[in-house]
Structure 1
């Protein structure tokens, strides 16, 4: 059983922090990001960063008041204790944690079908962008899919007949993010979806060894409203909206990034987390207005 989480009193003392977030600088070329060590002379990430100092508000009081939701803001905090204790065991993640996460996502969103298509472990001390088994936190503003690559995921992970049927109705992609210890450094900053405009989005290549995906980088916009949840615990998860086919005012995506929290202790332990990305499907009766899913 899961519930929208109430704000612990210990976290209410911090109303907001001022911190620097790494946006993408305006440019004329399409950004390219590698998931593995690129050829000699090729940078891991192209495109210059545009660091901006912003206010990041404590979202816990809003969550406690029921004013934060996945479909309204693009993110949501949920209370959920996992039965899995050892996330270093990949077989436990696949056999126990993934089914547990599928059930949670169905419970929270009302989706009739959930398909988890990947998971990523991160560690700010020992993780590396060169290590697919243990990544480091991403410190630039981004979203994991675009309005083009979202529908591609359906075709990649369902057979052709079912994909064709599912693409006619509402579907979404959600990132389920869980800390593996209390987050005392590099928390996630989350942007209210309602403050994002189409002009902020920059399609960017994400290069794998066997294919090229597409994500969004973000240009700075002073209208962006940023939030975080101080001292997240392992019995808390964040749901992040990565893609939604609805075009009726529902949050279709959000932006997020790890950031240097100025209130973190200098000796704070490493940030450790696991994230799952999942396709969510609803029946035709849940449709309002869908769009974007005809892309290839």
Structure 2
């Protein structure tokens, strides 16, 4: 049975390591084949001092997208299979409806990408190109026992967020990579279940929003529940327009 008691953890999270070259050279990661000797990534991430990862279990209502950059909700999505056809036909429309209902003053939702994360190699092979390999160290995740950790956006120093490009064969995007700052507070949910939905912001253009973004990573709790089957989770990215 799940415990209702919050369980804070202590862990060393990995951060971007600052280099003087970033004053005139932008960090980047290339998700493609590159010539021999050309670095596919020009920055390093490494573990910093151990810090507390606060458990939101039992305190979910204290956190909001506007104030903290993340929020947890109880919601059940009807989903029979994790194949691409089922996800696009059944799951994505449910996510759109959930966001329209949940985010205050939302007027339109545009989902622009989604990924199935799985620790099952059979699933990864079944959906090439649509799956993130949890064993890939570039994603800083581990199969089955890793959980999502989100930073309280209101505790971030904007000067600690470094813009970095990620380049694929079909498009180029940009991430904000955090530097270590002892004042930043991190959170997770113990014993997170499929109905425990985590929303977090990559960016917010509204001036009145206290938290503009929410860095995220993962870690291994010291106590993890038994995992009877491979872990599968669905990451959906959307642009939400509001009337504010």
Q: Same fold (TM over 0.5)?
A: yes
**Distance of aligned partners of 1:24 and 1:67 in 2 relative to their CA distance in 1, 3 Å threshold:** same
| TM-score (normalizing by structure 2) | 0.84
**Distance of aligned partners of 1:270 and 1:35 in 2 relative to their CA distance in 1, 3 Å threshold:** farther
SS in 2 for 1:199: helix
Q: In structure 2, what is the equivalent of residue 101 of structure 1?
A: 95
Aligned structure 1 segments of 4 or more residues deviating by more than 4 angstroms: 265-270
2:172 aligned to 197, 200, 212, which one? 212
- 1:86 equivalenced with 2:86 (yes/no): no
Paired with 2:228 and 2:53, the residues of 1 have a C-alpha distance of 20
Residue 85 of structure 1, CA deviation? 2.0
**Distance of aligned partners of 1:268 and 1:32 in 2 relative to their CA distance in 1, 3 Å threshold:** farther
Q: Would you say the 8 A contact 2:6–2:57 is kept in 1? A: no
Q: In structure 2, what is the equivalent of residue 76 of structure 1?
A: 71
Paired with 2:37 and 2:188, the residues of 1 have a C-alpha distance of 37
After superposition, give the CA deviation of every residue in 1:260-295 in whole Å (9 maximum; x if it has no partner).
222236978643211111111112xx2xxxxxxxxx
**Distance of aligned partners of 1:47 and 1:125 in 2 relative to their CA distance in 1, 3 Å threshold:** farther
**Distance of aligned partners of 1:103 and 1:253 in 2 relative to their CA distance in 1, 3 Å threshold:** same
Q: In structure 1, what is the equivalent of residue 8 of structure 2?
A: 16
**1:26-175 superposed matches below 5 A:** 26-27=18-19, 28-29=21-22, 30-52=26-48, 53-63=50-60, 66-88=61-83, 90-110=84-104, 111-124=106-119, 126=121, 132-137=129-134, 138-139=139-140
Structure 2: gaps spanning 5 or more residues: none
Paired with 1:245 and 1:205, the residues of 2 have a C-alpha distance of 20
| TM-score (normalizing by structure 1) | 0.71
SS in 2 for 1:243: coil
After superposition, give the CA deviation of every residue in 1:71-95 in whole Å (9 maximum; x if it has no partner).
111111111111112112x122112
Q: Would you say the 8 A contact 1:190–1:228 is kept in 2? A: yes
Paired with 1:37 and 1:272, the residues of 2 have a C-alpha distance of 28
Q: Would you say the 8 A contact 2:111–2:237 is kept in 1? A: yes
